[in-house]
Amino acid sequence: CGACTVMVSKYNRKEKKVIHLAINACLAPVCAMHGLAVTTVEEIGSTKTRLHAVQERLAKAHGSQCGFYTPGIVMSMYALLRSSEKINYSDMEVALQGNLCRCTGYRAIIEGYKTFIEDWESQRVIVNGTSKSNGVCAMGEACCKNKTDTSEDKSETKYIFDKSSFLPYDSSQEPIFPP
């Protein structure tokens, strides 16, 4: 289910760089962790000091309901951010494939995490293969995003969070390897 996901870091001597991988802790024998750095969700952020940007975006986007699967989802995204300088929409979808959430759909999770992708809108269009800016809407031309709003009531917003309120993600502030 991915609830026990942790990040494993190792140094690749051939490429001379650190590789970060998300793995399921329940399937990895302890003896296989020899010489590797294991990072758990407790290590990346704290409610007492400060949440990590990955945790904050999931919380503000209302992406977690019961909390059972949340650590695994957080660690999968964290490992992706640590392993790539620049991620795209497809990378994010692949990274989250090993995590199940039986409480909600994945929409709020994706909404929160796509803020790590600068050009997520164009990535979404490429993934869906359409030339429309709302490439994922099943309504096509009848999509609410295509309608002009003539009502005077502007109290409702189509966004569930203000992405300008997020802490910026800075990979240079992450722990070094080995810890």
User: pLDDT tens, 51-66?
Assistant: 999 999 999 998 887 8
9-13, 40-44, 132-136, 156-160: least confidently modelled range: 132-136
Mean pLDDT over 27-44 rounds to 94
CA–CA dist 95, 114 (Å, integer): 12
Q: Counting beta carbons within 10 angstroms of the beta carbon of residue 81, is it exposed (0 to 12), middle (13 to 18) or buried (19 or more)?
A: buried
**CATH annotation of 5-148+163-171:** 1.10.150.120
pLDDT tens per residue, range 126-156:
545 554 444 556 677 777 766 665 555 555 5
Sequence letter at residue 71? P
Taking every pair of C-alpha atoms in the chain, what is the biggest distance, in angstroms? 64
Domain boundaries, the chain: 5-148+163-171
Phi-psi region of 9 (alpha: psi -120 to 50; beta: other; left: phi over 0): beta
pTM for the full predicted model: 0.77
Report whether pLDDT(104) > 90: no
Residue 105: band (very low, low, confident or very high) from pLDDT cuts 50, 70, 90 = confident
pLDDT at 120 (0 to 100): 57
Beta-carbon neighbour count of residue 43 at 10 Å?
16
Q: Token digits for 42? A: 């407790």
